[in-house]
Amino acid sequence: MAQAVPFFEQVNRYFDRAADLLDYPPGLLPQIKACNAVYHVGFPLQRDDGSIEVIHAWRAHHSHHKLPVKGGFRLTSHASEDEVTALAALMTYKCALVNVPYGGAKGAIRIEKDDYSDAELERIIRRYTFELVRINCIGPGLDVPAPDMAVGQREISWMLDTYSALSHGEVSGMACVTGKPVSQGGVRGRVEATGRGVFFAIREAMSRADDMKRLGLSTGVEGKRVVVQGLGNVGYHAAKFLAEAGAVIVGVLEREGAIYDPGGFDVEKIDGHRREGGSLLELDAPEKLSGSDGSRGLEWDCDILVPAALEGVIHTGNAGKIQAKVIAEGANGPTTPDADQVLNERGILQIPDLYANAGGVTVSYFEWVKNLSHVRFGRMDRRFRASNRAQMMNAVESLVGQAFPEGLFDEVAVGASEADLVNSGLEETMIEGYEEIHRISREYETDLRTAGFVNAIQKVATAYQERGIFP
């Protein structure tokens, strides 16, 4: 997507807006804003037909104020140094905002995944990992990649396997990457974490009666009409959890076009159809847009818009036409700063990317902690807590001389599983994050995005100041 303003500059505009509200010694804010390092590698790929192609790939370390650095890597045909740098910067601010102890990083390989066979993709990912090892850009204490666009558990497994082969039995080597399958050290709940986090973010924002009143909406997610752009990992899971909470998915936008039905869609049905190779446009819907016209679906009538595909999709060309009252940024950088201003002036509530999609890195952090501790969450205390609760309930029954109603005993006398603990930790993180940015937005009389940057800058600044690097 052609962008008038480079992506990193866009992130820095948001940064500057927040920095204008803060007072720090000279040099500190430029140090936080600067990207510490960007690595570009070019390596040969032997294609299945024997021809050789040079593959370009990047890894950006935006901030080393905390180690390891953390961030996903993506496979896209538009990958560039500017894009990874901007995304790495967003990771720094996102991790700070949700109190995840990492510096920000991001990686990308410039390929269109569908143009390569599985065997070619495996060679590309393994070689990329090898290059990352060579430049010290992967390792549990250095840099921990994770999934981003067009990257899933399979690609992460190739990365882990390549790193393990090169790291000679490093005891915590599994923590070199997150988003792994559970069988290989992954954590339950990581696949759906970003979408679940987007859902929690929306739920929190929509629970504030005064904010909803200003938008002319009732509180709560139930019955709200949602348009989602991108039915990939983030968009599908966000739509799924919103629908489970009673929201109505009225519009879906994908590569091939967009469909709209005020009566709502069954997300599982759409996802199943697309997974089998079908197109959105083959499904029954009163309104359809095909090809690149699909992006006009962002302007459809709805309460909540969830852009969960690409950056820069909300720009000055469409910001004035968006009908949603709440925009929850599942994608990174979906809104340009000029569009952001238009949306703010129009009173639309924007739940910014650096908070809204932080669920992924939050659960990646849990996976990393699990790998370093070499024990599944809940393994040590689940049984203990279950029997402890049973003892207490037995004691209550004998004290009051009455048994608990049937089924209740078994429901309450349980300990938490890994999935319970991960989801609870994610929910707590998203609630706490919203409370922080909401409070700052009130204190500084600003929007949630600027509040998010204020929050992140304050935390990164503290990290520098407490190490004595700045007064």
Positions annotated as catalytic residues are 106
- Asked if 447 interacts with ligand NAD (CB under 6 A), we say no
352 binds ligand NAD (CB under 6 A): no
Using rule CB under 6 A, residue 177 touches ligand NAD: no
Q: Does 329 bind ligand NAD (CB under 6 A)?
A: no
Contact residue for ligand NAD among 12, 129, 194, 455 (CB under 6 A): 194
Q: Indicate which single residue of 85, 332, 371, 455 sits in contact with ligand NAD (rule: CB under 6 A).
A: 332
Question: Are the C-beta atoms of 176 and 160 separated by less than 8 Å?
Answer: yes
Question: Residue 316: phi, psi to the nearest 5?
Answer: -65, -20
Residue nearest to ligand NAD (CB): 232
Q: Please pick, from the candidates 68, 71, 230, 251, the single residue that binds ligand NAD as defined by CB under 6 A.
A: 230
Is 289 a binding residue for ligand NAD by CB under 6 A? The answer is no
Number of residues that bind ligand NAD (CB under 6 A): 24
Question: Which stretch, 62-70, 260-268, 325-333, 450-458, contacts ligand NAD (CB under 6 A)?
Answer: 325-333
Of 35-74, binders to ligand NAD (CB under 6 A) are 72
Instruction: Pick the closer one to ligand NAD by CB: 312 or 378.
Output: 312
> Phi/psi zone of residue 19: left (φ > 0), alpha (ψ -120 to 50 degrees), beta?
alpha
328 and 202 Cβ atoms separated by less than 8 Å: yes
What ranges make up the beta strands (E) of 285-427?
287-290, 304-307, 326-328, 349-351
Shortest CA distance to 70 belongs to which of 94, 36, 43?
94
Residue count of the chain, please give it.
471
145 binds ligand NAD (CB under 6 A): no
d(CA 417, CA 383): 10
Q: Is 350 in the site for ligand NAD (CB under 6 A)?
A: no
Cβ proximity to ligand NAD: between 204 and 271 the closer is 271
Q: Which is nearer to ligand NAD, 72 or 107 (CB)?
A: 72
Sign of CA dihedral 59, 63, 67, 72: negative
Q: Tell me: does residue 308 bind ligand NAD (CB under 6 A).
A: yes
Which of the 8 DSSP states describes residue 232?
A: S
Closer to ligand NAD by CB, 20 or 266: give it: 266
Q: Please tell me whether the peptide bond between 30 and the residue prior to it is cis, using omega within 30 degrees of 0.
A: no
Cβ neighbourhood burial of 444 (10 Å; 0-12, 13-18, 19+)? middle
Residues that bind ligand NAD (CB under 6 A): 72, 147-150, 194, 229-235, 253-255, 308-310, 330-332, 357, 360
